[in-house]
Structure formats: structure tokens, C-alpha cells
Amino acid sequence: MKFHHNRRGIGLREVIIVGGLIGLVFLMLAPLILRSRENARRNACLYHQKLLSEALIVFEEDRRELPGYANLQDGEGTATTGWLFPILPYLQSQLYPESLEPPVPPYLEEFQAYSAQGELAGKRPDFTIYEAICPDDAPEDPEQWGGFNSYVVNGGMPDVEPSDAIPADWAANGIFQNRLNQTKKVAFEQFTLLQVSEMDGLETSLLLGENVDAGAWTSPKEAEIAFVWSNRPDEIVGINQQIGKGDGTARFARLSSYHPGGVNLMFASGAGKFVSQQIDAILFAQMQATNDAQAKVAGTEELVWPEPDQRK
């Protein structure tokens, strides 16, 4: 007896239906996958800032002062550098519990080589600091990573020419000042974190953030390695405005990123946060000032936010 099986192959209609379902599922999942990747890069950026802020805080604990945004590279020579070079002996590639002894900092040898008495003293470093690069901001070619930098510190208001009585900027306007002025016969002031804690507080005072238009981490120029604020609204572009159009001037010394909707930043307490690009400009300026009540227009004695009875 013969049995006849009515077998039929997969037809074109079924293929089209299955293909359509797969495409529909992909369309539904694609935004979630992209959002997940965006969040991962944004979190990695915030983690890099956490490592940098931790190094700054430990540096301050050891030295009882923070570096300036600009410093002498070799301590006594003429080579200059930014805020990142002095903290390299404190910078780790990951956070370690206080109960564990952290390993030798990964950039200690390079730091010693370019410091005073080092074989490369006086020369400008060109090595890569991976913790100084935001994943969303990294050049595609790793060969271009040497000296590349995504992060900037709170520089207060844009510096003006200092005098023997008035500094380039007031310490009440921001945490980091130009320490190169300490070697000149001009006024200079920069608060310690202890002083900041007794004024506006570490929890509300900004320490560092990100800027896609930042200069090399070796630069001592305020507009390239710091972010600043102004009492004149049009002097500095807003957060995430005109990205990639920086020209090395204070106008573009603001926070910016390729993270949708805002930027990562760190407070002087070591706490990190993602802040909306729509944040109120005055509120953000007050987050940069270390002492709102004593913030003065750079180069003058004029209070930025005077008490009502002090206003003319």
C-alpha cells in the first residue's frame, strides 16, 4: 500500500511574511539598541570624568592646593602645561576601594620623564591619556589620540590682563586660575576645596566638564582647557551650541558634547551628573562661581550679583 504525503515547500508568501516580521522586530529594537549604545558611551564619559576628579581631589589633599588651569610643567623652567599634567601621578585607570592599595599610576613614568630632571624635561608631551578622551569625541584614527583631550575645568570668567592689585580673574568666579601668574609680580588668588566648601559648597560648585572644542591637554590656554562664563549673555555660546566650530577663543570655552540633550560634568564633591543643555544660563554661571555673593566682573570690583540694597 502506498501512502501519499501532501508535503509542500515554503512558499513566497510565507517568506515575505517572515521577512516582514523580522524587519518589524528590527525596527522596534533598533532605537533601543542605539539608545543603549548612546547610554554606554555617555556613562563611559562620566566614568572618565570621575577618574579625573578623583585625581584632582587626591592631589589637593596631598598638596593643600589644586593645580591651576595653567602651570609650569617642570616646576622651575619655562615649559608650560595645562591642569592635567600635574595630576598624572594621581590618575588611575579605574577606581579602587579604599581598602585596597592602588597600583602604580599608569602614567607615572611619562610624568617623571617630562618633569624637572627628566630626560624629556622642557619638551611638550604627546602621549595618549585614554581617560582624557570621551568615547563620543574620540578621533576615528587612534594615531591622532596623542595629546587629544575632551575635558575642561571650571575657569570662572575669561581672564583679563592682571595688575598688582587686581588678578586676571577673581577666585570667587571659578575654581581654577592661571598659576603662571604666581611667578609674576601681579595679584593672584585661587581657593582651596576647603575654602570652597565653606562658601557655596562642594556639592554645588562645578569642577570639570566636557567640550568637543577643547584643545590638547598640554595647552596652558584658558580657552582651550577650561570652561568659562560671562555676565554678558552673547559673549560665550551656550551648552552644545555651534559644536565643532570652536576657534580657540573664550567664546567657545563652554561645555559641549555629542551626547543628545546635554553634557556630563563633575562637582567639586566628586559627584557626577548629566545636565540638560536647556539649563538656565544664570543658574549655570552660579554653579561655576565658588562664592556667588563675592563674584566680580573680571578686572573690576563690580559685583556680578549684588544684593538688592547694593544695586544702583
**pLDDT surpasses 80 at 89:** yes
Task: State whether residue 197 is helix, strand or coil.
Answer: helix
- Residue 162 falls within a domain, yes or no? yes
**Beta strands 80-81; 151-154: pairing state:** unpaired
- Asked if residue 2 is part of any domain, the answer here is no
Q: What is the pTM of this model?
A: 0.86
Percent of the chain topping pLDDT 70: 86
Rounded Cα gap, residues 88 and 216, in angstroms: 15
Does residue 22 form part of some domain? yes
pLDDT band at 312 (very low <50, low <70, confident <90, very high): very low
299 belongs to a structural domain: yes
> What local confidence, expressed as pLDDT, does residue 69 receive?
98
pLDDT at position 154 is: 98
Would residue 220 count as lying in a domain?
A: yes
pLDDT at residue 220 above 70?
yes
Calculate the average pLDDT of the chain: 89
Task: Identify the band that residue 78 occupies on the pLDDT scale cut at 50, 70 and 90.
Answer: confident
Distance CA 286, CA 280 (A): 10
By the 10 Å C-beta count (0-12 exposed, 13-18 middle, 19+ buried), 279 is classed as middle
Of the candidates 225, 173, 193, the one whose C-alpha atom is nearest the C-alpha of residue 57 is 193
Residue 29 pLDDT? 53
In a domain, 214, yes or no: yes
Is it the case that residue 309 has pLDDT exceeding 60? no
Torsion of CA 249, 250, 251, 255, to 10 degrees: 110
Higher pLDDT, 201 or 28: 201
Query: What per-residue confidence (pLDDT) applies to 307?
Result: 75
Task: Band the pLDDT of 311: cuts 50, 70, 90.
Answer: very low
Better-predicted residue by pLDDT, 184 or 254: 254
CA atoms within 13 A on the CB side of 51: 25
Residue 7: inside a domain, yes or no? no
**What backbone phi and psi angles, to 5 degrees, belong to 148?**
-70, 145
- Is 128 contained in some domain? yes
Please compute the mean of the pLDDT values over residues 8-25 and round it to a whole number.
65
262 to each of 59, 209, 210, 211, how far by Cα in Å? Answer: 29, 11, 10, 11
What pLDDT does 14 receive? 64
**Residue 299 Ramachandran class (φ > 0 left, ψ -120 to 50 alpha, else beta):** left
The pLDDT assigned to 38 comes to 79
Q: State residue 234's pLDDT score.
A: 86
Under the banding of pLDDT at 50, 70 and 90, the label for residue 94 is confident
Number of domains in the chain: 1
Range of the domain at 151: 12-310
Could you tell me the pLDDT band of residue 225, with boundaries at 50, 70 and 90? Answer: very high
Instruction: With a cut of 70, say whether residue 4 has pLDDT above it.
Output: no
